[in-house]
């Protein structure tokens, strides 16, 4: 981390703030996942309970184009400060809303605040770091996001056992992040103010952005299928408690952290496209083990495979999207990336409509991961040859 600081005169404390803020993006839906069964018992929902986890993702998809355009009109720092307050407010009030339609609206609008946080903090990193230092910082960002998953899922599980409302209070950490942003992050200007000519966007650039978008969408869909099914599958099949469910899901995030830290080395060894394709193969292995075994020790192997799948896909695709962008289209492309990541989370909800049998769901997911991995490998190879 210290090597990163020397590049654009940004302090270690500022880097900590960027990483802490980044961790908010994954907790937007997952923080309440371990307490989902308790929430369902209290609220008696008429819709699928997994929608409480994925509705913010739909909000991200809808608001991402608007946020991308907004980034071209204001600095990343200003957009970040304007996004953290509604994130905190909309997150915590979900615990007190009894009307189901208002609850749906609240979770949807929370997605709008979330995409503001994600796009602005990534744009800030892109402005402050370049080249290999940027890739390392993006890897650190992914690690912090998954570390947030480890911490917030574990805390959410413990708090959910005490009372179903308590996990919602974790959203108030956004206000702590706001104070840190004011105290530690140096201001940056809107880079468009200093640009006189529009950089040419080649056909190869457009193709690469398109493939990165679909790869991000499908990678996050595969990763999140575990998050929307395990909170219900583990208690019914293995008699897991909320905290035990939270611990296993947190372990997936821990593996993702370790893998993301090694992602730059893997890219040097294989190339970016091959590393992404390898990530999909690990998704396949994770869900294949989950579908074919009822042994608790093998759940650890599942967690390892799924965590590796995330570490080799999402952070790398984030970096690839930045590298494929220029000053003029960065806001648009980062908005597309956010749409893909959270769109994948939302699509994961519909996997439950395939079957009531979780073994069938996980077999289908495993097959999808294999097919997607082969397709993504082919597309990146084709682009590199052009």
Model confidence band, residue 199 (pLDDT cutoffs 50, 70, 90): low
pLDDT, the chain, mean: 86
Task: Kindly write down the DSSP assignment for every residue of 302-327, as one continuous string.
Answer: HHHHHHHHHHTTHHHHHHHHHHT--T
Cα gap 276→222, rounded to integer Å: 13
**Maximum mean pLDDT: which of 28-37, 199-208, 362-371:** 362-371
Q: Which two tokens stand for residue 27?
A: 């907790």
Residues 336, 138, 285, 382, CA torsion sign: positive
Query: Which carries the bigger pLDDT value, residue 192 or residue 170?
Result: 170
DSSP-derived 3-state class of residue 164: coil
pTM above 0.85, yes or no: no
Q: How confident is the model at residue 191 (pLDDT cuts 50, 70, 90)?
A: low
Pick the CATH number of 12-385 from 1.20.1250.20, 3.40.190.10, 3.40.640.10, 1.10.287.3610: 1.20.1250.20
Those residues whose C-beta lies under 8 Å from the C-beta of residue 350, and which sit 6 or more positions away, are none
pLDDT at 350 over 90: no
Q: Would you list the DSSP string of 200-243?
A: P--HHHHHHHHHHHHHHHHHHHHHHHHHHHHHHHHHHHH---HH
* 110 closest CA partner among 54, 187, 41: 54
User: What residue spans define the domains of the chain?
Assistant: 12-385
Q: Could you read off the pLDDT of 287-317 as tens digits, one per residue?
A: 999 999 888 889 999 999 999 999 999 999 9
Q: 112 or 228: which carries more pLDDT confidence?
A: 112
Contacts of 215 by beta carbon, 8 Å cutoff, 6+ apart: 276, 313, 317, 372, 376
Report how far residue 158's alpha carbon sits from residue 34's, in angstroms, rounded to the nearest whole number: 9
């Amino acid at each position: 981390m210290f090597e990163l600081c020397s590049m654009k005169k940004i302090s270690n404390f500022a880097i900590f703030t960027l990483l802490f803020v980044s961790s908010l993006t994954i907790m937007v839906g997952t923080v309440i996942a371990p307490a989902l069964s308790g929430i369902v018992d209290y609220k008696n929902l008429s819709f699928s309970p997994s929608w409480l986890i994925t509705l913010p993702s739909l909000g991200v998809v809808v608001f991402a184009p608007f946020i991308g355009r907004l980034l071209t009109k204001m600095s990343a720092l200003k957009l970040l400060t304007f996004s953290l307050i509604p994130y905190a407010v909309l997150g915590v009030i979900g615990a007190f809303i009894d009307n189901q339609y208002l609850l749906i609206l609240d979770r949807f609008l929370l997605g709008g605040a979330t995409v503001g946080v994600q796009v602005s903090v990534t744009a800030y990193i892109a402005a402050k770091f370049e080249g290999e230092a940027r890739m390392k910082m993006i890897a650190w960002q992914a690690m912090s996001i998954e570390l947030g998953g480890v911490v917030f899922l574990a805390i959410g599980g413990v708090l959910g056992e005490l009372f179903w409302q308590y996990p919602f209070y974790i959203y108030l950490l956004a206000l702590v992040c706001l104070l840190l942003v004011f105290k530690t992050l140096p201001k940056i200007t809107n880079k468009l103010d200093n640009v006189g000519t529009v950089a040419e966007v080649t056909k190869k650039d457009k193709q690469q952005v398109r493939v990165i978008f679909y790869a991000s969408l499908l990678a996050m869909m595969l990763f999140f299928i575990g998050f929307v099914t395990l909170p219900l599958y583990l208690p019914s099949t293995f008699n897991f408690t909320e905290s035990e469910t939270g611990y296993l899901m947190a372990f997936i995030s821990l593996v993702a952290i370790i893998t993301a830290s090694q992602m730059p080395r893997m890219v040097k060894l294989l190339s970016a496209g091959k590393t992404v394709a390898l990530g999909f193969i690990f998704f396949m292995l994770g869900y294949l083990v989950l579908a074919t075994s009822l042994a608790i020790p093998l759940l650890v192997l599942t967690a390892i495979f799924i965590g590796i799948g995330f570490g080799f896909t999402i952070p790398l695709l984030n970096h690839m999207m930045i590298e494929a962008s220029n000053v003029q289209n960065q806001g648009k492309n980062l908005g597309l990336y956010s749409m893909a990541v959270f769109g994948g989370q939302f699509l994961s909800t519909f996997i439950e409509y395939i079957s009531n049998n979780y073994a069938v769901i996980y077999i289908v997911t495993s097959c999808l991961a294999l097919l997607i991995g082969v397709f993504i490998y082919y597309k990146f190879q084709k682009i590199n040859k052009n």
